[in-house]
Amino acid sequence: MDSEFARSTRTRLLAPLSWAAYITWGGITASAVPSAALVRGDIGVWLGFGALLVMLALFVLQAAHVIDHARHRPRAIAALLAQGLMVVLAQHLLGSAGVSVLLIIVSGQLFTMLSVPMATAILVLLNAAVLALWRLRGFELDDLLLSILPMLGFQAFAALTAMYAERSERRGDALADLNAELQATQRLLEESTRSDERLRLSRELHDVAGHKLTALKLHLRALHRDPAFAGREELGISLQLADELLADIRAVVSELRQHDGIQLGDALAALARPLPGVRIELQGREQARVASVAQAEVLLRFAQEGLTNALRHGQASHVALRVDTVDGRLRLSVEDDGHGRLPLAEGNGLRGMRERLAAFGGELHIEPCTPQGLRFRAELPALAATVAA
């Protein structure tokens, strides 16, 4: 988990847009902070430089998802607003118009985190603050507006670039989800084919080979009772071989019937694919066997719904899929450490899942986890109980 998280964090920190922000910050800081004033110990310059450092530190924390806007939205919004305020403060303390260019970095984050109207309003307020500070310094409003128009254009460009990049990432996530679903469905179809073939072979062996061997044994025993053949060694060996062959066939049929039903462990493993910053584990997959493809599909869709709820709504970092059998019932649970809590507003997905489980005599339970998160548990009659019924 640590290596996956470190790898995903490194990828985000070294992304092209992040590099563009680092270069922009470095260039603006180098031009706006006079080194001579730093050496002299000018308090205003040091404070302005400190504001720029704080702004960069907050950007790095958000780029690395240490301050994650998906999981800690209020904190992330506050950190983003603080970045903008640090830019305004640094511009005021350093007296350099170029510092306000750093609002381009803030703009790129605003429009990926907030709605367009809200992000636009915040950006307008920050630019208005910059204009007001320069107006207090005695600059003419007409000159200021002409100076800020190009910067507004760059801010809009940064916002659009960030928005399209995020949309592309979301599409990539959607394609990954679709691919995982297709792989899980493929595993289910393969297992269904194998199950049908095992059932066909077991029936052929039992109904055809078994019956003919039984008939052969009856004829051999009839010959063995005939005085004309009773002493023949070959007949005794034939009877023994027929007995052993029939026993072997019955053992093979029993072995094949032990694997009756649909094993959906591989399909669940396809759904539990690794994701950046998220650990998904599958336990007890060897027990994930149900009586029919229809039941397997219900459990597969349940697992998919539980994973979606944990990752997208609960923003979990660890999800466990557990399969076990208790009191003659097969249980599949999806446990997460996300931020979901009860009572849970159930949408059409969960309501539909309850109905589909109920059609097979199953149930859906939703419980809180300790110390946080939710557990979604589906129960169906176990395979042995279903077959017996």
pLDDT category at 53 given cuts 50, 70, 90 is very high
Q: What single string gives the DSSP state of each residue in 107-128?
A: HHHHHHHS-HHHHHHHHHHHHH
pLDDT category at 180 given cuts 50, 70, 90 is low
> pLDDT for 92-148, tens place per residue?
888 877 888 888 888 888 888 888 888 888 888 998 888 888 888 777 777 777 777
Phi-psi category of residue 315: left, alpha or beta, with phi > 0 → left and psi -120 to 50 → alpha: left
> pLDDT for 298-348, tens place per residue?
888 888 888 877 777 767 778 888 888 887 788 888 888 877 777 776 777
> pLDDT for 10-41, tens place per residue?
667 777 778 888 898 998 898 888 888 888 88
pLDDT category at 1 given cuts 50, 70, 90 is very low
pLDDT category at 86 given cuts 50, 70, 90 is very high
More confident residue, 166 or 177: 166
- 361 DSSP 8-state letter: T
Sequence-ordered list of residues with C-beta below 8 angstroms from that of 190, at least 6 positions apart, any chain: 266
pLDDT at 386: 41
Cα maximum dimension of the chain: 131
Helix (H, G, I), strand (E, B) or coil at 318: strand
Comparing 55-59, 170-174, 193-197, 353-357, the range with the smallest average pLDDT is 170-174
Sequence-ordered list of residues with C-beta below 8 angstroms from that of 366, at least 6 positions apart, any chain: 342, 344, 350, 374, 375, 376, 377
pLDDT at 71: 55
pLDDT at 385: 39
pLDDT category at 46 given cuts 50, 70, 90 is very high
> pLDDT for 58-80, tens place per residue?
888 887 766 555 555 778 888 88
| pTM of the predicted model as reported, rounded to 2 decimal places | 0.54
Q: What's the mean pLDDT when you consider all of the chain?
A: 77
Strands (E), the chain: 262-263, 279-283, 289-290, 318-326, 329-336, 363-368, 374-381
pLDDT(380) > 70: yes
pLDDT at 82: 92
